[in-house]
């Protein structure tokens, strides 16, 4: 079992109280329904088959409720219990896991954000890859995580060296045209680098997405404030699917899969206890209105201005 919530504007209601199909807004005298995005929260383990089954249930539930695009978190395919297991379970983009998700997208006619796939490079290295699949089952974009989580916080019980088995991506990728707008791609630790979000905004993003597996300590301290900050500075929707709970004896994740609006308000939060999903109406008219009323992009100085500092 998992929870479902739906969000419209700044209100969050349980699905049984307000079915997502009633989301209708009035724009300039015309009735229209903003497209729905589903932000998922799962608990991956080293069992790839069990993980796939759990994710399929969430994607099917989201599609039944009207979602046109579904976002799955970093490590949706698995979270290994050791470096060796992580490398052993990795696959290529042409492997069984991506092939099955392509078939799922085609069968349900839904777009998928697969946020943090263990893409094999060789026997010793992987990419952490964010894959976008369209409703026809085609891979339309692949972004490879460019900031790697090499952090030692002994007082917080956090010790991860992602670079010991992951190769950083060489470049950002252009925002992807989707049914919910132009989506700019990041993965987890990328969230901490505003340069990335601002670059994607300059290239036309309406929505930013940060599929994640935040630790308990860093999630409690920074997760929501970082997501809301990225929304405020870019005036984008920010959608962040998340891992939750215990994956194996050595690792747990914070959860709280979250959606923020372009004004920085929290539209949905899946909590920190169990798998679930949130359905969010992505209103691009609201994005355009906020950007018109507070034109941050027009007010920014040229890049050289921020690179130089006058002597005091």
What is the predicted pLDDT for the residue at 120?
Answer: 97
Torsion from C-alpha of 271, 194, 238, 202, nearest 10 degrees: 180
Q: What pLDDT does residue 155 have?
A: 78
* All structural domains of the chain: 3-13+33-296 (3.60.110.10)
Mean predicted confidence (pLDDT) in 70-93: 97
pTM of the shown model = 0.90
Question: Average pLDDT of 149-166?
Answer: 80
Coil, strand or helix: which one is 229?
Answer: helix
145 is catalytic: yes
Q: Does the pLDDT at position 135 exceed 90? A: yes
Beta carbons within 8 Å of 116's beta carbon, 6+ residues apart: 73, 74, 75, 76, 128, 129, 130, 145, 187, 188, 211, 212, 213
- For the segment 219-226, the average pLDDT, to the nearest whole number, is 97
For residue 255, which of 269, 268, 237, 236 has the smallest C-alpha distance? 269
d(CA 86, CA 98): 17
Read off the pLDDT of each residue in 175-194 and give the average, rounded to a whole number.
98
Active-site annotation holds for 188? yes
Sign of the dihedral defined by the CA atoms of residues 44, 42, 216, 173, in that order: positive
More confident residue, 216 or 6: 216
pLDDT tens-digit series, residues 10-36: 334 333 223 333 333 334 444 578 999
More confident of the two residues 45 and 6: 45
**Do 61 and 20 form a contact (C-beta atoms < 8 A)?**
no
Query: Looking at residues 45-63, what average pLDDT do you find?
Result: 98
Please report the pLDDT score of residue 6 as a whole number: 58
The pLDDT, as a whole number, for residue 3 is: 60
pLDDT at 296 over 90: yes
Q: How far apart are CA 93 and CA 243, in angstroms?
A: 22
Predicted local confidence at residue 154, as pLDDT: 79
Of the residues 74, 91, 119, 286, which is catalytic? 74
pLDDT value at position 211? 98
| Residue 258, pLDDT above cutoff 90 | yes
Name the catalytic one among 55, 91, 119, 145: 145
Please give the mean pLDDT across all residues of the chain. 90
40, 55, 188, 270: the active-site residue: 188
What is d(CA 292, CA 298) in angstroms, rounded to the nearest whole number?
A: 10
pLDDT confidence bin for 97, thresholds 50/70/90:
very high
Residue 220: how many CB atoms within 10 A of its CB?
14
23 near 280, Cβ under 8 Å?
A: no
pLDDT at position 153, please? 80
Residue 2 clears pLDDT 60, i.e. is over it:
no
Q: Of all residues in the chain, what percent carry a pLDDT higher than 90?
A: 83
The residues with which 153 forms a beta bridge, in sequence order, are 158
d(CA 72, CA 100): 14
9 burial type by CB count under 10 A (0-12 exposed, 13-18 middle, 19+ buried) = middle
Q: Are 234 and 195 in contact (CB under 8 A)?
A: no
What pLDDT band is residue 160 in, cutting at 50, 70 and 90?
confident
Asked if 274 is an active-site residue, the reply is no
């Amino acid at each position: 079992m998992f929870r479902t919530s739906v969000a419209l504007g700044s209100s969050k209601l349980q699905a049984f109280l307000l079915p997502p199909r009633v989301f209708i807004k009035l724009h300039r005298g015309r009735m229209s329904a903003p497209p729905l995005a589903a932000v998922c929260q799962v608990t991956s383990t080293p069992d790839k088959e069990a993980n796939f089954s759990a994710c399929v249930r969430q994607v099917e539930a989201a599609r039944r409720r009207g979602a046109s695009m579904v976002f799955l978190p970093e490590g949706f395919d698995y979270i290994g219990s050791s470096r060796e297991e992580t490398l052993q379970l990795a696959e290529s983009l042409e492997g069984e896991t991506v092939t099955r998700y392509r078939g799922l997208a085609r069968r349900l006619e839904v777009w998928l954000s697969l946020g943090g796939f263990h893409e094999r490079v060789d026997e010793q290295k992987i990419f952490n890859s964010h894959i976008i699949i369209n409703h026809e089952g085609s891979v339309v974009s692949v972004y490879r995580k460019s900031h790697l989580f090499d952090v030692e916080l002994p007082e917080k019980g956090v010790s991860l060296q992602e670079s010991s088995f992951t190769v950083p991506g060489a470049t950002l990728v252009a925002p992807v045209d989707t049914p919910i707008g132009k989506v700019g791609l990041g993965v987890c630790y990328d969230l901490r680098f505003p340069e990335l979000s601002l670059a994607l905004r300059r290239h036309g993003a309406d929505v930013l997405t940060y599929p994640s597996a935040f630790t308990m300590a860093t999630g409690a301290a920074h997760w929501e404030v970082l997501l809301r900050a990225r929304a405020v500075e870019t005036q984008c929707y920010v959608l962040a699917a998340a891992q939750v709970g215990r994956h194996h004896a050595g690792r747990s994740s914070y959860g709280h899969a979250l959606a923020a609006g372009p004004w920085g308000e929290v539209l949905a939060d899946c909590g920190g206890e169990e798998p679930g999903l949130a359905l969010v109406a992505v209103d691009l008219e609201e994005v355009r209105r906020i950007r018109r009323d507070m034109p941050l992009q027009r007010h920014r100085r040229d890049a050289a201005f921020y690179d130089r500092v006058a002597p005091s």
